[in-house]
Chain A
Amino acid sequence: MENSKISAAEAISIVFGIFVTYTLVALPKSMLESTKTATLINIIYVGIIALFITFLIYKLLIKFPGDDIVDIAEYLGGKPLKVFIGIIFIFYFLFSSSILLRNFCECLKIVYYPMTSLIFIILAFLIAICVTLHHRFSSIAKVNLLIIPLVVISIIFLFIANIENFSFDNIFPIFGDGLFNTFITGLGNLGAFGGITLLYFLPPYLKEPQKMKKVYLTSVILGTIYIILCVSIILFMFVSLMYTNQIMPLYSAARHIEFGNFFQRLESIFLLIWILQMVCYLCIISKISMSTFKKITNIRDEKPMIFVFALLIFAISLLPKNYAISKFIEDYIYHYMVIIVSIFLGVFLLILAYLKKRKKKELNTNHEQSI
């Protein structure tokens, strides 16, 4: 929203939160499925590429201070392009978060609520979202700043508590399915970096724009390290056939924690923390979608649209007829959506806008020189 500015730490935690949320459900599993035991090498390789892309995005965005990608699209192609780009990004956000919500709720239903229909579990999330969307963006960012350390601590605890169950030999053979699979086909793992999409929308919200470089690079580096941590937990704990067939690998890892005879089966506490993170992510994405919508339609206040967006998420999350379809979408289609929409389309747009700006500057200097 207009007056909600967020500090650098909150911005980092918002972008980092997107990495975190996707790893909670099935991201590590899909990465391991594609590159098997070479995933750790692959993530480092892909992480470096993502860092370059982030740096490129930062360099291009800094030429348009305070503008997000919708404004840049307007600069590039006028109103039609602005509306088109806005709709693409809104669709991307809603679709990816609805599918994620659907998968998460399916897992919750299997574990905790076998007799309850899926609709009501999703409805519970949506009621919480509807209530919180009436508040400002900065308070959602503050709460996110409080929840992210909790989630990170829970994952680190998961790692440390399971060390006795790890077999570090699972990392061999080191190149998994082969060099080609690791480095060329493995580029599909760039889909793990869906948080980059949010980087396009951050500039108007930053309280201290001079810290933009630090925010962008830190969040992607932190995201990479976090994904490495999650993947290593699953890689070391489970064998290859097993992790490709689980619904929520981190949850299964949490089931193995055992301290003596009385602290067993602590996974419910982990799920409590992960539910907090999931609903926080949904609120942030909805807020950004709504503000983008406000930009492209020029409405005065987006508060009445809260119910509409919540219903949209509800409807899209119920679209897949069964769990297999939604799992398929998240495992395969989501990666390509990220690569196409956030990486190619976004960078392409930014480069075009930058070229246009440079051309204009040259024309201006030529014009002045001729005068």
Chain B
Amino acid sequence: MHIKDLFSSLFTYTPDDKQTYNFNLIEDPNTKAYTDSNLGKEGNDKTKIFPSLTVNLDYLKSKYNLLINSDIIFREFVLNARGKQYNALLIFIDGMINTEIMNEFILEPLMMRNKNNLYEGSQNRVISEAVANNITVRKVKKFNLPNFISSCLIPQNAIKQVSTFEDSISGINSGNCALFVDTLNLAFDIEVKGFQQRGIEKPSNEIVIKGPHEAFVENIRTNTSLIRRFVNNENLVIENLSVGNITKTKCGVCYISGLANEDLIAEVKFRMNNLDVDSLLSAGQLEQLISDSSNLNIPQLISSERPDKAASYLLDGRVIILVNGSPYALITPGILSDFLSSPDDKNQKTLFSDFTKIIRLIAAFITLLLPGLYVAITSFHHEILPTELLFSILASRANVPFPIIFELLVLEISFELIREAGLRVPSPIGPTIGIVGALVMGQAAVSAGIVSPILIIIVAITATASFAIPDYAFGFHLRVYRFVFIFLGYLCGFLGIALGFFVYMIAMCDSKSFGVPYTIGISPLEHVKGTSYYLPPIWKREYRPGFLNSRKETKQGHISMKWKNR
């Protein structure tokens, strides 16, 4: 290396060959790159299937982008029916079908290979014959190829004849296969689903002690089978609706006809049929799309992953909505008492379940109001505290530099951070981080003199109480609104909390869920049949909830335990 090279490398100009990779999706956000495509806006026009196979094939090739789509399979073959051969086409999506079923029960019976399909006679069958004046008149029954294929040739359990492309395409998309035959202007939609899915497991978020331990899965057919096994009655109706212009997600509306109120069923179907969304991917989205509006963001539909809970609500007269691809069922309507009750309440003795209901009510109040009340009491109303408690609070706060409101907000927000982080930490250390994080952080903060120990206790009790709420959405709602009450308590003490609580109650009493007032049955002075916050003993549960207006009022005889009277 010469010094000359060194100098030249230092001081000569070398243009920057490397260019930074610069990819912009859109130059100017105000100008659109494309005009809106027509995807999802097909509307109600349906294209009829053509009799010619080649035309059908071309149509489908363009629809499915066959040249670039890798898992759409087109299988052309020759169909042998009663001695005659037709060209046929089978379309399916690789990975979604069960190939054994397709080979054994569709291709084999239809191809020439099947010796049972041989026939030598005439295609048309003579029914009757009459001779008059040397003219023979024969009544002939023409050979109906579609009926022959579907009723005699294909031994598959579910087969449907469709006449529009849209129906056959929706069948192919959900895992069936479509059979097109030359000269027929209809297609066959044959059930051959065989995709992988998660097996039935224990519920992960709604754990009970005495009830069954099965939970819903993603496939709607499995879920409906779980419900059917509980209800065990032919009056259980599961209607099919599809929501979403692009995804056309299958949703099932379940109710027991003869029990559920007709207006409720009509309202549910009306709301679901009048949604203009491109896609629907989960039950949570559907819940937000069909809920009544509420200022409070309270959950107005119950979502549950337990089939026994869904079945018990069905038998009360409610309507269940299942969404394909989501393991949660939506139960309408949902009132306040439902969000504070657990599916285990009916499995246990009334005394125990009423006791736990009282605990849950206390937990709801603590989650919502305890931090706010603490701030209010220490800021304005400290005379309530016993003198010794006041002294321990003062002593523990002696070295803390922050005012109470700031301490409380810091602790609450860090607790929410820990909670959120605990969801994302990989599972072996997940629970440990939650507990260790909270304890260590709390203890370290107290030792450093940043927060006072009394406040740690308050925040810990609040957090524990929030975990005692059975419904996740309702618990979330309480967690968010406690910040409002903290602020009100800081602002003007008990006056702020009382006024805030009043407005909160008014907003809650004003909300409705599918036509039912949200707080029905809460007040002990207003008696609605079959509805109350506390469960009566089992022999008293004669009536279905009155607010559902179901078509059968009683669900138990007046004396349900007839064996006692013998």
- Residue ranges of A at the interface with B (Cβ–Cβ < 8 Å): 7, 9-10, 13, 108, 112-113, 121, 124-125, 127-128, 131-132, 135-136, 139-140, 142-143, 145-146, 149, 261-266, 268-269, 271-273, 275-276, 279-280, 283
Q: Is B525's CB under 8 angstroms from A275's CB?
A: no
Taken together as a complex, chains A and B put the C-alpha atoms of A140 and B502 apart, in Å, by 10
Interface residues of B (CB under 8 A from A): 377, 380-381, 383-384, 386, 388-389, 492-503, 505-507, 509-510, 517, 519, 522-526
Contacts of A269 in B (CB 8 A): 384
Question: Inside 8 A of B381's CB, which chain A residues have their CB?
Answer: 112, 268
Please measure, in the bound complex, the distance between the C-alpha atom of A143 and the C-alpha atom of B493, giving whole angstroms.
22
Please name the 7 residue pairs, one residue from A and one from B, whose CB atoms are nearest each other, closest first.
A262-B386, A139-B510, A275-B498, A139-B509, A128-B499, A135-B510, A268-B381
CB < 8 Å neighbour of A271 from B389, B494, B507, B509: B494
Given contacts A135-B506, A275-B495, A280-B502, contact A13 B525 (CB under 8 A): yes
With a cutoff of 8 Å between Cβ atoms, the chain A residues found around residue B502 in the complex are 128, 132, 143, 276, 279-280
Complex: A273 Cα to B499 Cα, angstroms: 10
Across the interface, name the chain B residue whose C-beta is closest to A261: B386
Cα of A112 to Cα of B379 in the assembled complex, Å = 10
Instruction: Identify A124's interface contact among B492, B517, B522, CB under 8 A.
Output: B492
Known contacts being A132-B503, A143-B506, A276-B501, is A112 close to B495, with CB within 8 Å? yes
Query: CB distance A136 to B510 under 8 Å?
Result: yes
Q: Are A140 and B384 in contact (CB under 8 A)?
A: no
Q: How many angstroms between the C-alpha atoms of A160 and B133 in the bound complex? A: 116
Kindly state the separation between the CA atoms of A13 and B517 in the bound complex, as whole angstroms: 19
Chain A residue nearest to B389 (CB atoms) is A262
Partner of B499, one of A10, A139, A279: A279
Which secondary structure dominates chain B's binding surface? helix
Q: A140: which B residues are within 8 A, CB to CB? A: 506, 509
Q: Which of B384, B389, B496, B523 contacts A142 (CB 8 A)?
A: B523
Residue pairs across A and B with Cβ atoms less than 8 A apart, 5 shown, are A9-B525, A9-B526, A112-B380, A135-B506, A142-B519
Given contacts A132-B503, A136-B510, A266-B384, contact A279 B498 (CB under 8 A): yes
Q: Which of A10, A108, A143, A266 lies in contact with B526, CB distance below 8 A?
A: A10
Q: Point out which of B377, B495, B517, B525 has the most chain A C-beta atoms below 10 A from its C-beta.
A: B495
Q: A136-B510, A261-B386, A275-B499 are in contact. Are A146 and B493 (CB under 8 A)?
A: no
A268 to B505, CA, bound (A): 21
Q: A142-B509, A264-B386, A268-B383 are in contact. Are A125 and B525 (CB under 8 A)?
A: no
Q: Are A7 and B503 in contact (CB under 8 A)?
A: no
Q: Please measure, in the bound complex, the distance between the C-alpha atom of A55 and the C-alpha atom of B502, giving whole angstroms.
A: 34
Contact, CB under 8 Å: A145 / B495: no
Give min CB distance, A151 to chain B, whole Å: 12
A128-B500, A280-B502 provided; 16 other pairs, C-beta below 8 A? Answer: A7-B526, A10-B526, A112-B495, A124-B495, A132-B506, A135-B507, A139-B510, A139-B517, A142-B517, A149-B524, A268-B381, A268-B494, A269-B384, A272-B497, A275-B498, A275-B499
A283 vs B526: C-alpha distance when bound (angstroms): 21
Judging by beta carbons under 8 Å apart, are A128 and B525 in contact?
Answer: no
State whether B498 touches A149 (Cβ < 8 A): no
Considering the chains assembled together, what is the distance between the CA atoms of A132 and B388 in angstroms?
40
Q: Closest residue to A130 on the B side, CB-wise?
A: B503
B185 to chain A: closest CB distance in Å? 55
- Given the complex, which residues of B lie within 8 Å of A128, measured CB to CB? 499-500, 502-503
Report A281 CB to chain B, min CB distance, Å.
11
B495 adjacent to A121 (CB under 8 Å): yes
A149 to B496, CA, bound (A): 21
Taking a contact as CB atoms closer than 8 A, the residue among B503, B509, B523 that contacts A131 in the complex is B503
- Known interface pairs A128-B499, A261-B386, A265-B383. Does A145 touch B525 (Cβ–Cβ under 8 Å)? yes
Q: How far is the CB of A21 from chain B (nearest CB, A)?
A: 14
Answer whether A146 and B492 are a contact pair too, CB < 8 Å, given A276-B498, A279-B498: no
Give the CA-CA distance A205 to B493 in the complex, in Å: 36
Residues of B within 8 A of A273 (CB): 498
| Residues of B close to A132: CB separation below 8 A | 502-503, 506
Please report the C-alpha to C-alpha distance between residue A121 and residue B383 in the assembled complex, in whole angstroms. 21
Q: Point out the residue from B384, B386, B505, B525 that lies within 8 Å of A143, measured CB to CB.
A: B505
Nearest CB on A from B375, distance (A):
14
- The CA-CA distance from A275 to B376 in the complex, in Å, is 15
Taken together as a complex, chains A and B put the C-alpha atoms of A273 and B502 apart, in Å, by 10
> Could you tell me the distance between the alpha carbons of A142 and B520 in the complex, rounded to whole angstroms?
9
Give Cα A9 to B500, complex, Å: 25
Q: Which residues of B contact A149 (CB under 8 A)?
A: 524-525
Q: Distance in Å from the Cβ of B295 to the closest Cβ of chain A? A: 9
In the complex, what residues of A have CB within 8 A of residue B501's CB?
276
Q: List A contacts of B526 (CB < 8 A).
A: 7, 9-10, 142, 145
> CA of A136 to CA of B508 in the docked complex: distance in angstroms?
12
Task: Give, as a whole number of angstroms, the nearest-CB distance from A81 to chain B.
Answer: 35
Measured CA separation A364–B388 after assembly (Å): 81
Bound-state CA distance A252–B524 (Å) is: 30
The CA-CA distance from A276 to B502 in the complex, in Å, is 6
**Which residues in B have their C-beta under 8 angstroms from that of A280?**
502
Query: CA A80 – CA B517 in complex, angstroms?
Result: 40
Write the chain B residue with the least CB distance to A13: B525
Bound Cα distance A207, B496 (Å): 34
Chain B, residue nearest A143 (CB): B505
Q: A93 to nearest B CB, angstroms? A: 20
A136: nearest chain-B partner, CB-CB: B510
A273-B386 Cα distance, complex, nearest whole Å = 21
Contact residues in B for A136 (Cβ distance below 8 Å): 510
Contact between chains at A112 and B493 (CB < 8 Å): yes
With CB as the reference atom, state the residue of chain A lying closest to B501: A276
Nearest CB of chain B from residue A195's CB, rounded to whole Å: 18
Q: Which residues from chain B contact A10 at a C-beta distance below 8 Å?
A: 526
Residues of A within 8 A of B388 (CB): 262
Residues of chain A with a CB closer than 8 A to B493's CB: 112
Residue ID in chain B nearest A12 by CB atoms: B525
User: Which residue of chain B lies nearest to A116 when distances are taken between CB atoms in the complex?
Assistant: B492
Taking CB atoms, residues of chain B closer than 8 Å to A124 are 492, 495-496, 499
Find chain A residues with CB under 8 A from B497 CB.
272
**A residues less than 8 Å from B507 (CB atoms):** 135
Give, as a whole number of angstroms, the nearest-CB distance from B392 to chain A.
Answer: 13
Counting chain A CB atoms within 10 Å of each CB, which of B496, B498, B499, B506 scores highest?
B506
Q: How far is the CB of A285 from chain B (nearest CB, A)?
A: 15
Q: What is the CB-to-nearest-CB distance from B245 to chain A, in angstroms, rounded to a whole number?
A: 36
Q: How far is the CB of B506 from chain A (nearest CB, A)?
A: 5
Please give, as numbers and ranges, the residues of chain A lying within 8 Å of B495 by CB-CB distance. 108, 112-113, 121, 124, 275
Q: Are A272 and B525 in contact (CB under 8 A)?
A: no
Contacts of A264 in B (CB 8 A): 386
Contact partners of B525 in chain A: CB under 8 A: 9, 13, 145, 149
B383 engages A146 (CB within 8 Å) = no
